[in-house]
Amino acid sequence: MTSRFKNGILCEVYAKAVPELVDDEGFWFRYFYRIDKAKQVEEARADLVRRAISGEDDDENWELGSIESSLLGRA
């Protein structure tokens, strides 16, 4: 494992975080999926702030929690 990662800290975290039941491909798929979803939530949040500042959206029913839930599949 140490030879795969040049960063010793990354190797240590990977060894602790990845159980033996999850293969490398599954780990990285899940990792990048979560990163993508986090970026989508942040973009939605930034868009909501931009629209609120510009007065573009008069609908007060927009809730950040509902945006996050729908993007993360918790609707």
Tens digit of pLDDT for each residue in 14-59? Answer: 787 777 777 788 878 988 999 999 999 999 999 999 988 888 655 5
What is the pLDDT at residue 12?
79
Question: Chain-centre distance of CA 35, in angstroms?
Answer: 4
Report d(CA 29, CA 25) in Å as an integer. Answer: 6
pLDDT at 54: 86
**Across the chain, what does the average pLDDT equal?**
75
The whole-angstrom separation of Cα 67 and Cα 49 is 13
> Is the distance from CB of 43 to CB of 37 less than 8 angstroms?
no
